[in-house]
Amino acid sequence: MEETIEGYVDHIIFRNEDNGYTVMVVIAEEEELTCVGSFQYLSEGETIKAYGHYTEHPSYGRQFSVTSYETVVPQDSMAMERYLGSGAIKGIGAALAARIVRRFKDDTLRIVEEEPERLAEIKGISEKKAREIAAQVSEKADMRKAMMFLQQYGISLSLGAKIFNQYGQEMYGILRENPYKMAEDIDGVGFKMADEIAARIGIHTDSDYRIRSGLLYILLQATAEGHVFLPQRILLERASALLGVAAPYMEKHIMDLAIDRKIVMKETPLSEGVQPEPVIYASQYYQLELHVAQMLKELALEDTVDEARMETQLARLEKNGNVQLDEKQRQAVVEAVKNGLLVITGGPGTGKTTTINAIIRYYELEGLDICLAAPTGRAAKRMTETTGYEARTIHRLLELSGMPDDSSASIHFERNAQNPLEADVVIIDEMSMVDIFLMHALLLAITPGTRLILVGDVNQLPSVGPGSVLKDIIRSGKFPVVELVKIFRQASQSDIVVNAHKINRGVPVVLDNKSMDFFFLKRYDANVIISVVITLIQKKLPKFVDATPYDIQVLTPMRKGLLGVERLNGILQQYLNPPSPEKKEKEHGNGLFREGDKVMQIKNNYQTEWEVRGKYGIPVEKGVGVFNGDTGILREINTFAETLTVEFDEGRFVEYAFKQLDELELAYAITIHKSQGSEYPAVVIPLLGGPRMLMNRNLLYTAVTRARKCVTLVGDENTFWEMEKNQMEQSRYTTLDLRIKESF
pLDDT one-digit tens code per residue, 380-419: 888 998 898 999 989 989 988 765 443 334 578 899 999 9
Strongest mean pLDDT among 147-151, 374-378, 728-732 = 374-378
**552 or 166: whose pLDDT is higher?**
552
Q: How far apart, in whole angstroms, are the C-alpha atoms of residue 351 and residue 332?
A: 11
Q: Which of 434, 460, 485 is the last residue of a domain?
A: 485
Q: How far apart, in whole angstroms, are the C-alpha atoms of residue 477 and residue 737?
A: 8
Indicate if 167 and 198 belong to the same structural domain. yes
Indicate if 198 and 55 belong to the same structural domain. no
The pLDDT, as a whole number, for residue 742 is: 92
The pLDDT, as a whole number, for residue 88 is: 65
Is the pLDDT at 326 greater than 90, yes or no? Answer: no
Q: Which of 485, 503, 527 is the last residue of a domain?
A: 485
Is the pLDDT at 118 greater than 90, yes or no? Answer: no
Indicate if 230 and 81 belong to the same structural domain. no
The pLDDT, as a whole number, for residue 691 is: 80
| Parallel/antiparallel/unpaired status of strands 652-657 and 643-648 | antiparallel
Once rounded to an integer, what is the mean pLDDT over residues 235-243? 90
Query: What b/e sequence results for 662-693 when a residue is b if at least 16 CB atoms lie within 10 Å of its CB, and e otherwise?
Result: ebbbbbbbbbbbbbbbbbbbbbbbbbbbbeee
Could you tell me the CATH number of the domain that includes residue 188?
Answer: 1.10.10
Indicate if 101 and 207 belong to the same structural domain. no
The pLDDT, as a whole number, for residue 456 is: 94
Amino acid (one-letter) located at 170 = E
The pLDDT, as a whole number, for residue 117 is: 80
350 is in an annotated binding site: yes
Is residue 149 assigned to a domain?
no
Q: How far apart, in whole angstroms, are the C-alpha atoms of residue 339 and residue 317?
A: 19
Q: In the chain, pLDDT over 70 holds for what percent of residues? A: 96
349 is in an annotated binding site: yes
Is the pLDDT at 143 greater than 60, yes or no? Answer: yes
304 is in an annotated binding site: no
Is the pLDDT at 662 greater than 70, yes or no? Answer: yes
Is residue 292 assigned to a domain?
no
The pLDDT, as a whole number, for residue 405 is: 41
Is residue 167 assigned to a domain?
yes
Is residue 737 assigned to a domain?
no
Could you tell me the CATH number of the domain that includes residue 84?
Answer: 2.40.50.140
Is the pLDDT at 142 greater than 60, yes or no? Answer: yes
Is residue 112 assigned to a domain?
yes
Q: How many helices (H) and strands (E) does the chain have?
A: 27, 28
Indicate if 419 and 478 belong to the same structural domain. yes
Count other Cβ atoms within 10 Å, centred on residue 103: 15
The pLDDT, as a whole number, for residue 406 is: 37
439 is in which domain, residue-wise? 299-485
Q: Which of 16-25, 207-216, 425-434, 611-620 has the lowest mean pLDDT?
A: 16-25
The pLDDT, as a whole number, for residue 282 is: 93
The pLDDT, as a whole number, for residue 356 is: 93
The pLDDT, as a whole number, for residue 91 is: 73
Is the pLDDT at 439 greater than 90, yes or no? Answer: yes
Indicate if 543 and 689 belong to the same structural domain. yes
Could you tell me the CATH number of the domain that includes residue 711?
Answer: 3.40.50.300
Indicate if 459 and 515 belong to the same structural domain. no
Indicate if 53 and 100 belong to the same structural domain. yes
H-run or E-run covering 351: none
Indicate if 447 and 547 belong to the same structural domain. no
Q: Which of 361-365, 467-471, 522-526, 579-583 has the lowest mean pLDDT?
A: 361-365
Give the count of alpha carbons within 13 A of 302, CB side only. Answer: 8
Indicate if 134 and 199 belong to the same structural domain. no
Indicate if 25 and 132 belong to the same structural domain. yes
Q: Which of 452, 485, 518 is the last residue of a domain?
A: 485
Looking at the 3D structure of the chain, how many domains does it have?
A: 4
Is residue 42 assigned to a domain?
yes
Indicate if 521 and 499 belong to the same structural domain. yes
Is residue 151 assigned to a domain?
no
- Is 267 in contact with 278 (CB distance < 8 Å)? yes
645 is in an annotated binding site: no
How does the average pLDDT of the chain come out, rounded?
86
Is the pLDDT at 660 greater than 90, yes or no? Answer: no
The pTM score is 0.76
Is residue 516 assigned to a domain?
yes
Handedness of CA 581, 583, 586, 587 (dihedral sign): negative
